[in-house]
Amino acid sequence: MQLYRVFLMTVISLLGYSSATSSGIFDHPLNGWYPCHKFTFSESGGSSSQGGDAECAIYTAPLCYPGICEISEFAEPTVDIFVKRIPATAADTKTAHNVWLVQGGPGYSSTSLESSMMELHAKLAGAVNVYTMDHRGTGRSTLFDCVAAQTTMTGSTLGREIDPSEVPACAKDLRMKYGDLASFSTTSAATDISAFISKFSNGASSIVYGVSYETVVVERLMHLSPPTVNGYVLDGIATTSGASGNKFQYYSMWDADFGKVGDYFMELCAQDSTCSSHFQSANLSVALQDLMTRLDNNPNSTCATLLSNSTDTLPSHALRQRLAVLLKDTTARTIIPPIVYRLSRCDTNDVDAMTHFFAVQVKTTPSNRLCSTI
């Protein structure tokens, strides 16, 4: 009798699925949840000690949501959306509040947010479910790339970055593959978050945090107004709706905007007796400018070659890039003054320390292996 009930339920499920698919309605199932490691890449954290505490899944979403675009006759009707979560440990996951951390770029996967997920989960004493998602076109979700046109390959003109000469072929490739490219629009990405929360969340309240480009997606999510989302956080705002042209967040202004933050940070050194005691005139900014000038004037010096690493990049540019990575991290930025001090002095101990540090920095910098550069 029990076997008959199981069989009957299976038949009913299959009939329901067949009816739904034959009528053009698809339930967009969730493939998960599976136990997975908190860190995707081994260089981000030890897999042996960090595994098993996260859960991963793939949400099968429509390529085109109603009202956004129409599916072309040759395009696949669905896309994969990768989702990871750290379930609540001090509360019932079925009733705990939810926090979403979503990465921007545009084109970045969620891997660089994994340490932030762990930190937030710990600071909230395991009382919440912490989620992240690779927005469509990035990471382990359906990737927005030009495989047929073979652009942004390591052997391409600019390697992983797209060259203007590659744009026509790449655009044709994308059009042939997906049809209406509104399927990868901001609205489509925001709808993925809204749909997932509506279909697969526990129904408890959610707060969505977006960083960089994802602030654009989160702003669009606010327009969609999913009922269980009661809070939004925009960090590193890339959207300034309604702002005048001279205050709009243009990509072309990033270096200047970044410089303002860097200058403010370096001014703090003068207010700290330990930091300021290592620099003449107690001015970290002046010390850094002097260091970069000396490095470029003597590119074959020990510390200059340590930075440029036998490339055509100016030592000062290489240093700027490395310090910029540190500045974005609230903990790592505190290492900037010691780096400036050691590179300025550049004795044998400094060279050993900087060689080790730069090697570690390369290993721990979030991987771009899952990014889309298109």
**Looking up tokens 């550049």, which residue turns up?**
346
**Please, where are the H alpha helices in the chain?**
2-22, 47-50, 114-123, 167-178, 186-200, 214-224, 254-267, 273-276, 284-297, 302-308, 315-327, 336-345, 348-364
Domain ranges of the chain: 28-146+179-246, 253-364
Kindly give, in sequence order, each residue whose CB lies less than 8 Å from that of residue 4, ignoring residues fewer than 6 positions away: none
Give yes or no for residue 49 having a pLDDT over 60: no
- pLDDT the model gives residue 280: 81
pTM score of the predicted model = 0.72
Per-residue pLDDT, 186:
93
State residue 310's pLDDT score: 59
Distances in Å between the Cα of 318 and the Cα atoms of 283, 295, 304 are 22, 11, 9
pLDDT at 355 over 80: yes
Could you identify the residue written with the tokens 């660089």? Answer: 112
pLDDT of residue 272: 92
pLDDT digits (tens, 9 = 90+) for 175-186: 989 999 999 999
Which one has a higher pLDDT value, 48 or 199? 199
What is the arithmetic mean of pLDDT over 245-260?
80
For the chain, count helices (H), then strands (E).
13, 7
Residues ≥6 apart with Cβ < 8 Å to 315: 292, 295, 296, 299, 303, 304, 305, 307, 308
| 54 three-state secondary structure | strand
pLDDT at 245: 76
The Cβ-side half-sphere exposure at 44, using a 13 Å CA radius, reads 20
Higher-scoring residue by pLDDT: 280, 132: 132
What mean pLDDT is reported for the chain? 84
Q: Please provide the CATH number assigned to the domain covering 28-146+179-246.
A: 3.40.50.1820
Cα distances from 280 to residues 289, 323, 344, in angstroms, run 13, 21, 12
pLDDT over threshold 60, residue 118? yes
Neighbours of 33 (CB within 10 A): 16
